[in-house]
Each structure stands twice: as structure tokens, then as C-alpha cells.
Amino acid sequence: MSNGFQRRGSIFTGLLLIVLGVIFLIDIYEPGLRVGHWIRLYWPVLIILWGLAKLVDHFAAQRAGGPRGPFLSGGEAVLLIVLAFVLAGFAFRDWLRDRYPDFDIDIPPFQHSYSKTQDLPPQQLPAGAHVIIEIDRGDISIKPSNDNQLRVGVSESAYGKTESDANQKLHNIDIEIRQNGNVYRVGPRSGGSQAGGSTDLDITIPRTVSLDARTNHGDVEIAGVSGPVTAHSGNGDVDVHDIGSDVAVDLQKGDAKITAVAGNVKLTGRGDDVDISDISGDAAIEGAFIGSLHASKIGKTLHCASPWAELTIAQLSGNADADSGDIEISGASGPAKLVTHNKDIDVSNVSGRIDIANTHGDVKVSYSTPPRDDLNVSNDAGDAEVSLPPSSNFQVSAISRSGEAKSDFGAATLKASNENDQGQISGRVGEGGPSITIATSYGTIHLRKAG
């Protein structure tokens, strides 16, 4: 028997259909907007729409005096599953395009990729010219030439429902070289757009220029320039080598490799793996690089600052390696300072002063020759081990709270004790020498004789 009220349908189904239709339209007519990228960022908006729809349903039923609809009807559940698969497909497709730009996949399958190549007329550059290369999407490869000409090879690709549609997008890109005094710009013509397409540039330039190369999505490779170099990639790898002056690299996602630089190096932003070597000046790395770090042969000072660690090493003749769990440093004639947490630290053959502050990790310091400068280790919840040649002279003050202290050195002027859950080593070995200070908790301190 009817109670006189009709159950109201939810507006959520209509909202889902609208969202789905809008997404398909945008992807068909404006593929350059990269729908999958926005879905990965803003998918919680669907939850907000769901909540708003349920609030509207609730108040509408309250005003009409009828019963509330179900929290989720069968039709809504089916539509949600379909929408989830569609959105995941868009997100996965654009992720593939981000990782593998040459991979061709479309959702819906109504678009195809078309491409064309061309060489721009070469430009004669004066000595000391400044070249700026800026594109939105695509790879940039720059190599030195044996003359004073700027040569640009262009490879363009675009997606479209038809070949004529794609050709129109290719025409809109229209890469050109613009001159303003001593500055030469390579990029889309004024008012041009890379929406729906990408552009790879293969460029040769005179060695003496200064260079600024930027792409928001793509790899950058630069080699053989004697002037200052700036490189930026919003999503891609950067490889810079054989540069005769300073290098500045900004990265937002990808790997960075910078080698054989006669000046200073500065790497900023965030990304994955970092490889820096053969740098004559200073090398600074600032940002959240979550992959592995390898640095070697830094002529002046290596400084790395991240949310989880900070290290400074002067005159790194050997290697510095770091990953998610370990930091290893070997071979440096200048001082070294490390401040970090949740990492095991291994330092060897550093001639200068060493300062280490660590938490929740073990610290190991090794000397192949008697130390000449002070060592300071502060470690919370971890072991501390220091290995020294038997001929070393040093003064030591070491304490482990809620831990042990051990020493392989048996000098009469050295005292080691373990009482009341506290280990302690104090005194000196030999005459004079640097100071070794160690403080840790919940760990063992061990002074070893290097074999």
C-alpha cells in the first residue's frame, strides 16, 4: 500500500554524466590540456560533488516531506565504477606519455599522432651572444658547432582527429629564431601555441655563447659550451657536461647529471637521481631529490640541503654517495659536516675537521692515517664507531647513555668504563693530537685500532 510519497531520484547520477561528457569533450578538442594530469591532481573533486549532491537530495526530501533516498543506489554504483575506469584510463595514458613521450595511445581512440621535421635557416652569431631556448613540451639537445652559426633542427608532433586537424596544430607551433640585439630566442612564434603537440629541438651553437634552455615537459642535454649555462625541465631529465663556466639547473621531476664543469654548479628543485662530478668550483644541491646522490671530484665545496639531510664537504677528491638509508663519504682534504636523521653514515679518509649530528642510525668514521683535526659525533639512538691507526695521537671524550663504550687502545692515560647503564671513554693516547668527542644514546661506542 502506498504511503503517498514518491522516492526522489538523486541528482548525483546527472552530475556524473555531465562530468564524464565534459572530460570526453575536452580530451577530443583540447588534448593539449592533458586531462589525465588534471585527474591525478584533482580527483577528490568527485567526492566533493558526491557530498554536495547528497546534501541537495537530503534537503529536497525534507522540504517535500518524503523519505530520503538511499546513500548509493545500484545505478549510481555502476556509473561510479564506469567513471573510475575511464578516469584511471585517462590518468594512465597521460602518465605513459609523460614517461615515454613517443608512446602513442589515445582515450577515446579518435586521435592519431602526426609529425613533421624541418631545419630553420642558420643564424650567424656574434661573439658572446646569449641564446635562449624555450618550449613547453619536447626534448632539447644542444651540441657545439665548429663555426659561429646557430642551427636548429625541429621535429614536431601533434594529435588530432584528422591529419588536417593535426597539421593545423603543427602550424600553430611554428618554431622560429628571434633576435633582439645580442640575444637570440628559439621557440614558438609570438602567439603560437604547443597545445596538443610537442617539439623536439636538435641544436648546434658556437662554443662561446651563454645559454638558457627550458622545457616544461621533456629532457635537456647540453654539451661543450664555454659560457654560463642555465637549464630547466619541469618533467624530464637534465644532462649537462663539458661546460667552461657556471651551470645552474632547475628540475621538478627527473634525473640530473652534471659533469666536467669549469665553474660552479647549482642544482635546485626536486626530482630523482643526482650525479655530479668533475666540478672545478663549488657544487650546491638544494631541494627534495628522493633518489640516489653521487658526487665526486668537487674542487671547492659540495653543499647539499634537503628536507632530511644537510651536508657540506670541502675539496672532495673521492666520492660522496647517499640514498634513502645510507650516506658514504670517502676522500676529502677539507672539513666535512653532516646533519641528518634515519641514515647510517660511513665516513673515511677525510683529513679536515668532521662534525656529524645524526639520529636513528649508526655512525662509522675511519682514518687511514692519524687524524690531524677534530672529530665531533652526536648520535641519538645508534652506534658510533671510530677506527684509527695504532700510531694516532688524540684526546677523547666519549659517553653513551644507556649503552656501552669499548676501546682497543690500552694507554694508561685512557680510561674506559661501563657503569650504571652508561659507557664512557676519556683521556688521551700519545701526546697532543686532535680532540675526539662522541655522544650517543641507546648505542655502543667503539674506538678501534685500524688493522
Grid coordinates given for 378: 652526536
How many Å apart are CA 136 and CA 38, to the nearest integer? 17
Which one is predicted more confidently, 172 or 239? 239
Residue percentage of the chain with pLDDT more than 70:
79
Long-range contacts: 383-386, Cβ < 8 Å, 24+?
A: 383/440, 383/443, 383/444, 383/445, 383/446, 384/438, 384/440, 384/443, 384/444, 384/445, 384/446, 385/445, 385/446, 385/448, 386/436, 386/438, 386/446, 386/447, 386/448
- Per-residue model confidence (pLDDT) at position 99: 59
Per-residue pLDDT tens digits for 256-280: 999 999 999 999 999 999 999 999 9
Contacts of 203 (CB under 8 A, 6+ apart): 133, 140, 141, 142, 143, 150, 151, 152, 153, 186
Average pLDDT over residues 370-377: 96
Average pLDDT over residues 134-139: 91
pTM: 0.75
Amino acid at 322: A
Which one is predicted more confidently, 182 or 40? 182
- Per-residue model confidence (pLDDT) at position 243: 97
- Per-residue model confidence (pLDDT) at position 112: 59
Mean pLDDT of the residues in the chain: 85
Q: Which of 270, 274, 276 is nearest to 234 (CA)?
A: 270
Residue 211: exposed, middle, or buried by beta-carbon count in 10 A (0-12, 13-18, 19+)? buried
Which one is predicted more confidently, 182 or 82? 182
How many Å apart are CA 416 and CA 144, to the nearest integer? 63
Average pLDDT over residues 114-120: 82
Pairing of strands 265-271, 247-251: parallel
How many Å apart are CA 132 and CA 215, to the nearest integer? 11
Grid coordinates given for 424: 664512557
- Per-residue model confidence (pLDDT) at position 421: 86
DSSP state of 82: H
Cell 644542444, located at residue: 142
Per-residue pLDDT tens digits for 5-42: 444 456 666 777 777 777 777 666 665 556 666 776 77
111-218: CATH architecture: 3 Solenoid (2.160)
Q: Which of 287, 253, 138, 140 is nearest to 198 (CA)?
A: 138
- Per-residue model confidence (pLDDT) at position 96: 65
How many Å apart are CA 279 and CA 270, to the nearest integer? 21
CA-based end-to-end distance of the chain: 95
**In the structure, what pLDDT confidence band is assigned to residue 197 with cuts at 50, 70 and 90?**
low
Q: Where in the chain is the domain with CATH 2.160.20.120?
A: 111-218
